[in-house]
Amino acid sequence: MIQTFTRSLALLDCGVASFTAPNQSECGDRHLVKTIPGGTLLAVVDGAGHGPEAAIAARTAIGVLEAHASDDPVLLVRRCHEQLRTTRGAVMSLAVINGAVNTLTWLGIGNIEGQLARLGPPYGTGCENMLIRPGIVGYRLPPLRPSVSPISSGDLIIIATDGIRFDFGRQFTEERPRAIAEYISSRCRTGLDDGLVLVARYQGPANEP
């Protein structure tokens, strides 16, 4: 069963779709879309393994991220690392949108893929993939080095857990994020794991013409 979610913010139009692994009662993948001063925090977390224990780890991480959403991404990951030590651990990817300067800050640990699809001026077209580093939050952290990219209105951000193949077979242009999330979650499953995809289209600052 696919669960979908859509939300519109001043900076972003967001859509999410998720599903549970075969023979499991609970999805171990979670997401967060949180308004912060000057921007928005996007987060996707995948608890290690499947089922209730994976879900506990993911919920714990999301709780930490929500409580401290305005913190620097590196500090956010370190806070999660401390709280997840007594759980199975998790992998996660964070994207912080700064509407004041039109930037996207990425930070990924483990196998959650992220992509920025540029749809036109001033930065042209094409896709930029998030740099992810091996590790498990709560067990072993890699060096934490966020990367920063410029973004413009219309650009598309896609973040997906490893239950989803990150080869969509097509490019997305003007579709709404929820429709894109539903398409990816239904067409690109690996078939062996939980899956969650978060799609956000940057709409530009609220005061942008």
Q: What is the pLDDT of residues 105-140, one digit of tens each?
A: 999 999 999 999 887 666 666 788 888 899 999 999
CATH of domain 3-202: 3.60.40.10
Q: Residues near 37 by Cβ (< 8 Å), separated by ≥ 6?
A: 70
Section 20-45 average pLDDT: 91
| 3-8 vs 132-133, strand pairing mode | unpaired
| One-letter amino acid for residue 111 of the chain | N
* Residue recorded with tokens 């997840």: 84
| Dist CA 95 CA 114 (whole Å) | 9
Distances (CA, A) of 159 to 108, 137, 138, 139, 182: 10, 18, 21, 22, 13
- Per-residue pLDDT tens over the stretch 177-196: 999 999 998 888 887 888 99
41-60 residue pLDDT tens: 999 999 998 888 999 999 99
Question: Which sequence spans correspond to the domains of the chain?
Answer: 3-202
Q: H helices within the chain, ranges in order?
A: 51-67, 73-83, 177-187
pLDDT at residue 4 tops 80: no
pLDDT class of 169 with cuts at 50, 70, 90: low
In this predicted structure, the answer to whether residue 208 has a pLDDT above a threshold of 50 is no
Backbone angles phi and psi of 102, in degrees to 5 = 55, 60
Residues with Cβ within 8 Å of 67's Cβ and at least 6 positions away in sequence, in order, are none
The two structure tokens encoding residue 193: 């794991």
- Are the C-beta atoms of 3 and 182 separated by less than 8 Å? no
Is the model's pLDDT at 142 over the cut of 60? Answer: yes
State the pLDDT at residue 209: 41
